Structures are given as C-alpha cells and as structure tokens.
Amino acid sequence: MEAFWMSPTFPQPLSSLLIGLLSLLFLLLLPDLHSTATTATGIRLGVIRKPSPDVPIFREAPAFRNGETCASDDKIHISMTLDSNYLRGTMAAVLSILQHSTCPENVEFHFLWSRHEPDVSSSIKSTFPYLNFKVYRFNSKKVRGKISKSIRQALDQPLNYARIYLADIIPAEVKRVVYLDSDLVVVDDIKKLWEVDLENKVLAAPEYCHANFTTYFTDLFWSDPSMSRIFDGRKPCYFNTGVMVVDVDKWRQGDYTSKMEEWMVVQKQKRIYHLGSLPPFLLVLGGDITGVDHRWNQHGLGGDNLEGKCRSLHPGPISLLHWSGKGKPWLRLDSRKPCIVDHLWAPYDLYRLLSLLFLLLLPDLHSTATTATGIRLGVIRKPSPDVPIFREAPAFRNGETCASDDKIHISMTLDSNYLRGTMAAVLSILQHSTCPENVEFHFLWSRHEPDVSSSIKSTFPYLNFKVYRFNSKKVRGKISKSIRQALDQPLNYARIYLADIIPAEVKRVVYLDSDLVVVDDIKKLWEVDLENKVLAAPEYCHANFTTYFTDLFWSDPSMSRIFDGRKPCYFNTGVMVVDVDKWRQGDYTSKMEEWMVVQKQKRIYHLGSLPPFLLVLGGDITGVDHRWNQHGLGGDNLEGKCRSLHPGPISLLHWSGKGKPWLRLDSRKPCIVDHLWAPYDLYRSSTHSLEE
C-alpha cells in the first residue's frame, strides 16, 4: 500500500391536535430553547425564540463569508416582499442565494412589507444574524381602488403590487436591483443574474414568446383599437415578474410606475385583463425588455393558477427553480402529498414545527458549527491532455463550535475518466456539510497520476485528503466480463479491498461513487446506526433479486442456499457506510474473492463488483433511508436512457447506470435531471486558459 499525504494549506403518537396545542402552550412558557440538529443544507439549529402565533419558527442559518478576492464595494441588491404567509418561502430563497453566491457578504436585501410586523423582522435577524438587509414599508393605500379581482385571491393582495412601486421605495443610491418572488430557490451564483446586460432597457427578465399572448387580456381589450394598438411593433411576449433585473434610475426617469397605474385605473373601469399585477407590466413593457436565459426561471413548478397540479421540470439548464402557480412546496410538503419537484426545495427549508414530544427530549443544548463559504476564483492551469481543467472551489470553513477531532471519513476512487464527477461530488459534500474541515477524503487510484493529484490540490487547496495506491494485480484473473465495460475496470473492485488499504486507525468510512452529488449534510449518513452490522446502505427488497445471478447459480443448491434465511434484497455499493474494523475481523475481502474465483469458473452472475457483495452481505446489512440514493438517474446499464426523479425526499442524487451527466451535458443532449448535477460542475473547457 502506498499512501500520499496531501496536507492542506490551512410510543403510539398522540393526536396531532393534542400535540399542537400542548406544543404551543409549552412554547409560550419557554424563554429560550437551543438545539443541535442539522438540516439538509448543513444548517445549524440556533436559538429558537418564543414565536408569534402567526410567524413560523426557523433555525439559524449558516454564516456565509466572502473569499479573499471579493471587493467589499461590489454590492448586489436583491428585493423581495415580506409576508408572514410566505415567510417560509422567503427564508428558503434567501438561504439558497447566499449558499450559491461567490461573495455572499456583498448581497444586500431590500424587503418590502405592507405593515410593520416586528416578529417577521425578528425572524429574519435571528435566522440570518449576518445578513445585510433593510425593510421598507409599502403603503398599500397606493393601490387601494386600483386592484381588480383576478383568478386567484393570492394575486389580489396589495403586497403583490409592491414591485410596481419598487423604484419609489428603495433608496436613490440603488441604481439596479434584482426583484425575486418568495416561491423560488436559486441554485447558481446570483451575481450572474445581477450582471446581465440590460442593453439600454429598463428591465430584463426571462421572456416567453411562444405562449398565447392574447389570453392575458379580455376580448374587450383586443376589440378596442385605442387600447390594443399599444402592442403594435412590439413582440407578443410575456415575462414572469417574479424574476426581474431592473434599472431603477431608468424606471424613475421613465415614470413607469405612473404608466402602470394608468392601466390599473382602466382595468377597474372596463376589466381588460385577468391576472393580478402581471398585465400592467406587459402593457407598459411587454416585448420591450431584455430577455434573460430561461435557466433563470424554471417556472410553473406550482402548477396552474386554479388547481396547482404537479408538473415536471422543463428541459434545459437550471439556475433558478420557481414554484409560480397555485401550489407552493412548503404547503404540499406539509400536506404529505408533495410533488416530486418539491423535494428540490426542501433542502433549503429552515422551518421547524416543534412538538411537545420533541421539546421534552431536548437537553440544554447549544447550536452546532456553521460553515463559511467564501469562493475564490483562481487561475486555471495548463493541463495534461488527459486531465480535465477545473476552477478552484470555495474555501469552506468550520464554525466556532466544530470539534476538530470529530472526523468524517469519505472514500472514493480516482480515475481520470471520472474525475469530473469526483470533483462535483466533493464540492457537493463540502457545500452541504456543517463542519467541512472535519471531512477527510481517502482516494483510491490504480496508478500514480500526478496530474490527477495536482488537480485535486489546485481545485480544493484546503481539502484534507490522502491518496492510496490500489494494486490492480489483486483482481487480475478474478474479473469476468460483465454487461458494461466500465463495470469491468479493476478500480471498480477497489471497494472490496477498502479495509485493507486505508489506515488501521480509521474505524468507519463512507464509500461513495463518483457519479453522484450530495444535497444534505454528510454527517447524517456518517452517523447512521449500523446496528452491529458490518455495512449500511440503501436497500431494495422489491426488485427481482433472481436477475442478478444466472440460471446456473440458482440451479445449484450448493451455491443458491447461501441466501437461505436472508432477505432477497440488493443494495447499491456506490453508497455505503462500512465498519472497517468489523470488515477486517470478518475477513470479508477473502469471502468476496472466493466468489470471484467461482465466477471465473462457472459464470454465476452478470454485474461487475456488485454480486460478490450480495453473495456475502445481501439481506444482512442495515438499511439506510432511500433519500440517500436517488438512484438510476443514469438510466439502465445498456442504453442509459433518461429517467425521472423517484418520489420522496432527496439527500443524494446518483447517476448509477450507463448515462453520466457530464457526458450528456457535453453532448448537448442532456436529460432533465442532469441539470441538477450541473451547478456542482467545476469543469472548464480546455479552450479557455484563464478563469474570468
């Protein structure tokens, strides 16, 4: 074994009604509570305050910090409305913006509310102690008498019209602002949207020119030339006003607020449109804005405005997920009838409903550490022809209360063909971890590749990792041809020898494939109770277990009886928690090797390194929640056709199967789910030599 140390440069439940009433009573008597549980985004539970009955309870969010190259005066202004009914959505949106921002301390929020709500303001302060924000009063009297009843009550609230008055509310020194709805999450750097070229227009937004534009207005409008001619010479395009970049100076100079108010007065007199605050924008600016890439508005995830039925993701890249429409993800999740796409919002949800049962179990605990994500853009080096080029990743830091000796050990293989996947996986783990500096990586490679090692060092300068040589001679003569060549590579069998390779002081390890991203705190997987078993993994007991082995195997009782008394369940070896000591004591490596020898002689199975694991451990492991393996996103092993997300919560997205997201993205023929991998892709085309 060769190790290369890379030191970093630095009971039956009560009825829900009873629980709810008791919880509220208990909370009202509590001065202040503490908790240490973490969320799907690596968020610490901070002080939980005594709430107003109308204001949800939120955990304290991470402290996101700038990197060394962020200019302190390079501000990004974001405006959103504040409504206690949508506050849960607002909190999730803010968290998503900060989490994916290169310079999070440069983001300033301008919140608009229609009434002074101290509890709402207090919620923001305690949830985001480090947030740069101001709150402005929107005087709802401005729209009194100008709002007509639309197709959905939520669209008729005065605060929904505040965006029209934005330029009159925020300070004169703010020249540009990004306005965002509260029912969205951003999964890209908001700076990219902020820096959109407005092309001398007053507004930029994702624009849609293939919809039936006429449906936004009534027959009365279209039959009256004095009104309908306003669109003469303009593109028949609509835009969603929930994602806009606004030149505030130009708006003021053009007095666009008054122009929209004029149409609102006409609407009260003649009813010329249907849909809340959108039509005034279309009447004044429709067809005369700068279009923004549609990746910034993966819209309609809330369904239509009447029923809010589930919808799937649209094809194409994703930078922003928008639950426009009637259905809101937090409501559908709480109803226990979520749509699949709602599970993409859930990792950003800071809300917690405390039950008395939970509170009674709370000791006097204190919050766990937070992460600081300052991203530094570095120079991209001249590469080896075989090694991809990567940007330097963020510097993720522990908070004050992370114990330095509380290590989490992750093992992955290193292969230049899969390096792009490995880099994305590592980034995703660090980004969602509560204590990222406590994560240690143990990489296995079959040959010493200096360029690969160099790539890791330069991409993750602060990463704690070791690289170990896996001697491929160990499996020479033991590998049989399977249904896909990639499954026959010696390195694919390295996981069988993991306990023999990593240091004796490592007692537990999480083994992960390179074709996945983690969207939850890896510590939750690391801390799974192994229940005295050698291994834990997501387990599947409803699949046809017999298909993993040949007829020859099942017809020979001397072999097939190995499964007597065991559950006919398989597990994917790409997501495993292993008790390395138990593995060594039970000599599981030798047991698997014995079956590999039998396979060479008789061909008793089909699928690479998985069957030896099933023969030795199938039906005798600890099952892990399926949220930790949203698997099969790469399609089957033969064709790799596109697949949709499975229903249920998501902590890990796994492109098991033939199709890999980076290859499909590069081919310009990606599957929809591949766009969920793309935000973690650090790769840059070799045609570019410097990072912008």
Task: For residue 130, give both structure tokens.
Answer: 């480090």
Q: Domain end: 321, 336, 358, which one? A: 358
Is 38's pLDDT higher than 70?
A: no
Q: For residue 371, how many other CB atoms are within 10 A of its CB?
A: 28
Phi/psi for 148 (5° steps) reads -105, 150
**C-alpha 510, offset from chain centre:** 21
How far apart are the C-alpha atoms of 529 and 95, rounded to whole Å? 30
> Within this chain, do residues 138 and 213 fall inside the same structural domain, yes or no?
yes
Burial 614-635 (b: 16+ CB within 10 A, else e): bbbbbbebbbbebbbbbbbbbb
Over pLDDT 90: what percentage of the chain? 52
Asked if the structure places residue 486 within a domain, the reply is: yes
Tokens describing residue 123: 């919620």
Residue 390 maps to a domain: no
More confident residue, 377 or 655: 655
Mean pLDDT lowest for which of 133-147, 220-234, 558-572? Answer: 133-147
pLDDT tens-digit profile of 413-452?
998 889 999 999 999 999 888 889 999 999 999 888 888 8
Q: How many C-alpha atoms does 389 have within 13 Å on its Cβ side? A: 16
Determine the Cα–Cα distance for residues 607 and 619; give it in Å rounded to an integer: 18
Q: Are residues 486 and 426 in the same domain?
A: yes
Q: What is the pLDDT of residue 131?
A: 94
Kindly state whether residue 43 falls inside one of the protein's structural domains. Answer: no
**Confidence check: pLDDT of 61 > 60:** yes
Indicate whether 331 and 431 sit together in one domain. Answer: no
- For residues 345 and 422, state if they share a domain: no
Residues 178 and 326 in one domain: yes
Task: Give SS3 for 367.
Answer: coil
- Comparing 7-11, 560-564, 600-604, the range with the smallest average pLDDT is 7-11
In a domain, 35, yes or no: no
Same domain, 418 and 548: yes
**Residues 46, 372 contacting (CB under 8 angstroms):** no
**Strand 320-322 to strand 184-186: parallel, antiparallel, or no bridges (unpaired)?**
antiparallel
pLDDT at 59 (0 to 100): 83
Compute the Cα dihedral for 521, 131, 176, 265 and give only its sign: positive
**Are residues 92 and 167 located together in one domain of the fold?**
yes
Average of pLDDT values for 105-112?
A: 96
- pLDDT at 27 > cutoff 60: no
Q: Which two tokens stand for residue 569?
A: 């369940």
For position 207, what pLDDT does the model report? Answer: 96
> Which domain covers residue 429, as residue numbers?
408-684
36 has a pLDDT exceeding 80: no
**What is the full DSSP assignment across 382-410?**
PPPTTS-EEPPPPEEE--TT--TT--EEE
Name the pLDDT band for 498 (thresholds 50, 70, 90).
Answer: very high
Of 353 and 471, the structure prediction assigns the larger pLDDT to 471
Residues sharing a CB contact under 8 Å with residue 589, sequence separation 6 or more, in sequence order: 496, 497, 499, 500, 583
Maximum CA pair distance of the chain? 89
The pLDDT tens digits for 504-524 are: 999 999 999 999 999 989 999
Is position 39 within any domain? no
In this structure, of 362-376, 534-548, 586-600, the range with the lowest mean pLDDT score is 362-376
Q: Please name which of 266, 308, 310 lies closest in space to residue 284, comparing C-alpha atoms.
A: 266
pLDDT of residue 626: 96
**Taking 70 as the threshold, does the pLDDT of residue 277 lie above it?**
yes
- Which backbone phi and psi does 609 adopt, to 5 degrees? -85, -5
pLDDT band for 394, please (50, 70, 90 cuts). confident
- For residue 150, the domain's CATH number is 3.90.550.10
Same structural domain, 350 and 413: no
151 pLDDT more than 70: no
What is the number of structural domains in the chain?
2
**Residue 69 CB neighbours (<10 A):** 12
* Structural domain contains residue 283: yes
Q: Where would I find the beta strands (DSSP E) of 502-567? A: 508-512, 516-518, 535-540
Task: Mark whether 331 and 427 lie in a shared domain.
Answer: no
Distances (CA, A) of 505 to 67, 325, 470, 579, 580: 34, 54, 19, 12, 10
pLDDT above 50 for 380: no
Count other C-beta atoms under 10 Å from residue 473's C-beta.
Answer: 9
Q: What is the H or E stretch that residue 134 is in?
A: strand 132-137
Judged on CB neighbours under 10 Å (0-12, 13-18, 19+), 639 is exposed
Residue among 36, 42, 34 at smallest CA distance from 525: 42
CA distance 271 to 397: 56
Work out the number of other CB atoms within 10 angstroms of the CB of residue 399. 18
pLDDT at 517: 97
335 and 418 share one domain: no
Using 50, 70 and 90 to split pLDDT, how confident is the model at 137?
Answer: very high
Last residue of a domain, one of 358, 384, 416: 358
- For the cut 90, the answer to whether the pLDDT of residue 157 exceeds it is no
Average pLDDT over residues 535-549: 90
319/438 same-domain check: no
Considering the domain boundaries, does residue 675 fall inside one? yes
Is the domain of 286 the same as that of 417?
no
- The Cα–Cα gap between 461 and 7 comes to 9
User: Is 375 within a domain?
Assistant: no
**What is the Cα–Cα distance from 336 to 425, expressed in whole angstroms?**
30
Question: Would residue 668 be called left, alpha or beta, if left means φ above 0 and alpha means ψ between -120 and 50 degrees?
Answer: left
User: Distance between CA atoms of 569 and 476, rounded to whole angstroms?
Assistant: 29
How high does pLDDT run on average in the chain?
83
Supply the DSSP string of 258-308, one letter for each residue.
HHHHHHHHHHHHH--B-STTHHHHHHHHTTSSEEE-GGG-B--TT--SSS-
Per-residue exposure over 554-569, b if at least 16 CB sit within 10 Å of its own CB, e if not: eeeeebeeebeeeeeb
pLDDT of residue 286 exceeding 90: yes
Domain stop point among 321, 338, 358? 358
Run of H or E residues at 468: strand 464-469
Give the pLDDT band of residue 16 (cuts 50, 70, 90): very low
Residues 344 and 508: their CA atoms lie apart, in Å, by: 30
The residue count of the chain comes to 692
Spatial distance between the Cα atoms of 602 and 437, rounded to a whole number of angstroms: 48
Question: By mean pLDDT, which of 59-68, 71-80, 101-110, 631-640 is the weakest?
Answer: 59-68
